[in-house]
């Protein structure tokens, strides 16, 4: 087996041109670009020196089998195939490639898993305790906003102090995937937590720093920093589960759907381009109803 390529090493010029086009013209998110770059490195490793324009559909199928044999799951392989498919479309359009050998190749199926969510009681246990330090004031504001408005972690990290957030109106405007903007309500507890943070933010932020959420050294707090602080708070409070920012987003969607039953509204608030992405929460809602049924129905109780 050929050794894995360094994911930070440069790619061929035509590969880099395609990624640059995705970033500038399609406004692909940094996470998408990172995943696609990893997929292109995997393609080069598997091609083992053969020019990618010479690869055929049987080669791509063999590559998929190898990735699966190496232990990669269906979702990961599907992301690789998506990057390869897009690359070949670019090569056909701009570099004279004759065919797209990835068309029709499917990844192995992954077991269906539902997103993990906090219960409302767990969410309250995470958010209710009072902040005891400057950093905790910031953290509570971040986590309240994430749970209140269902924001992605990249959307949280990307917020600026002078744009997007309107506490008086109880609204936040964020740029989601492909820079699609959406307005989301901010609940009263999140508004209060954000106001408390804004009152002390100047004690940490560097002069001229635009980021709403800053580190102890005054620069913009990263997505990894947000995830680390959330995990730390969950452990400190003894929640007994690994909590990450997307779990707060899942919990927002699930709890809102349980209360309202309005799938379209949840879709709009989450910023999903397709209703299919939102429909997973109907399964979570059914699980909740099934538990209520099992506990309450006289012929279901054990």
The answer to whether residue 100 is domain-embedded is: no
Q: Has residue 176 got a pLDDT over 80?
A: no
The answer to whether residue 104 is domain-embedded is: no
CA 259, CA 165: separation in Å to the nearest integer?
A: 26
Task: Verify whether residue 95 is a known catalytic residue.
Answer: no
- State residue 302's pLDDT score: 54
The 3-state DSSP class for residue 197 equals helix
pLDDT tens digits, 267-302: 777 776 666 666 666 665 555 545 554 665 565 555
Q: Has residue 138 got a pLDDT over 90?
A: yes
Task: Verify whether residue 68 is a known catalytic residue.
Answer: no
pLDDT tens digits, 235-263: 999 998 999 998 998 888 888 877 777 77
Per the document, the length of the chain is: 302
Q: Has residue 22 got a pLDDT over 80?
A: yes
Query: Which of the residues 41, 79, 138, 152 is marked catalytic?
Result: 152
Query: Which of the residues 37, 177, 182, 189 is marked catalytic?
Result: 177
pLDDT tens digits, 186-243: 999 999 999 999 999 999 999 999 999 999 999 999 999 999 999 999 999 999 899 9
CATH number at residue 90: 1.10.150
Q: Are 192 and 184 in contact (CB under 8 A)?
A: no
Same domain, 270 and 152: yes
The answer to whether residue 74 is domain-embedded is: yes
Task: Verify whether residue 283 is a known catalytic residue.
Answer: no
Give the pTM.
Answer: 0.64
Domain boundary pick from 59, 94, 129: 94
Residue range(s) defining the domain that contains residue 80:
13-94
Same domain, 162 and 56: no
The number of domains in the chain is 2
Q: Has residue 94 got a pLDDT over 50?
A: yes
* φ, ψ for residue 147, nearest 5 deg: -75, -35
CA 74, CA 47: separation in Å to the nearest integer?
A: 20
Q: Has residue 158 got a pLDDT over 80?
A: yes
- Sorted by sequence, the CB contacts under 8 Å of residue 180 that are 6+ apart come out as 271, 273
**Nearest-CA neighbor of 239 among 133, 130, 116, 124?**
124
pLDDT tens digits, 77-86: 999 999 999 9
Same domain, 289 and 189: yes
**Nearest-CA neighbor of 165 among 131, 247, 204, 144?**
144
Average pLDDT value for residue range 70-89: 94
Q: Are 54 and 80 in contact (CB under 8 A)?
A: no
* φ, ψ for residue 185, nearest 5 deg: -65, 150
CA 127, CA 147: separation in Å to the nearest integer?
A: 9
CA 147, CA 246: separation in Å to the nearest integer?
A: 9
Task: Verify whether residue 249 is a known catalytic residue.
Answer: yes
Least confident of 57-61, 154-158, 174-178: 174-178
Query: Which of the residues 85, 189, 272, 288 is marked catalytic?
Result: 272
Q: Has residue 101 got a pLDDT over 70?
A: yes
The answer to whether residue 147 is domain-embedded is: yes
Q: Are 63 and 43 in contact (CB under 8 A)?
A: yes
Task: Verify whether residue 210 is a known catalytic residue.
Answer: no
Query: Which of the residues 61, 116, 189, 246 is marked catalytic?
Result: 246
Average pLDDT value for residue range 84-111: 91
DSSP 8-state class, residue 118: -
- State residue 9's pLDDT score: 73
Task: Verify whether residue 246 is a known catalytic residue.
Answer: yes
Same domain, 125 and 254: yes
Query: Which of the residues 138, 229, 249, 250 is marked catalytic?
Result: 249
Least confident of 6-20, 48-62, 90-104: 6-20
- State residue 157's pLDDT score: 93
CA 293, CA 276: separation in Å to the nearest integer?
A: 26
Same domain, 53 and 166: no
**Nearest-CA neighbor of 163 among 212, 202, 203, 209?**
212
């Amino acid at each position: 087996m050929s050794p894995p390529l360094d994911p930070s090493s440069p790619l061929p010029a035509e590969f880099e041109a395609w990624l640059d086009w995705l970033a500038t013209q399609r406004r692909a998110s940094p996470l998408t670009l990172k995943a696609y770059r990893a997929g292109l490195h995997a393609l080069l490793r598997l091609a083992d020196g053969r020019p990618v324009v010479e690869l055929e559909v049987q080669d791509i199928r063999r590559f998929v089998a190898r990735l699966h044999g190496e232990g990669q799951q269906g979702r990961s392989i599907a992301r690789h195939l998506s990057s390869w498919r897009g690359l070949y479309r670019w090569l056909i359009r701009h570099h004279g490639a004759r065919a797209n050998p990835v068309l029709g190749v499917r990844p192995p199926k992954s077991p269906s898993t539902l997103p993990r969510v906090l219960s409302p009681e767990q969410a309250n246990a995470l958010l209710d305790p009072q902040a005891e330090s400057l950093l905790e004031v910031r953290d509570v504001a971040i986590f309240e906003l994430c749970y209140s408005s269902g924001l992605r972690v990249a959307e949280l990290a990307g917020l600026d102090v002078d744009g997007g957030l309107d506490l008086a109106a109880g609204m936040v405007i964020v740029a989601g995937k492909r820079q699609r903007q959406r307005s989301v309500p901010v609940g009263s507890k999140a508004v209060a937590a954000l106001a408390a943070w804004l009152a002390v933010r100047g004690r940490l932020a560097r002069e001229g720093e635009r980021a709403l959420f800053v580190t102890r050294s005054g620069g913009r707090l990263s997505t990894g920093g947000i995830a680390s602080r959330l995990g730390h708070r969950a452990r400190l409070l003894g929640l007994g589960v690994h909590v990450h920012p997307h779990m707060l987003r899942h919990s927002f969607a699930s709890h809102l759907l349980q209360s309202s039953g309005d799938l379209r509204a949840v879709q709009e608030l989450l910023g999903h381009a397709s209703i299919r992405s939102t429909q997973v929460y109907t399964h979570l809602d059914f699980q909740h109803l099934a538990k209520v049924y099992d506990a309450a129905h006289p012929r279901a109780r054990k």
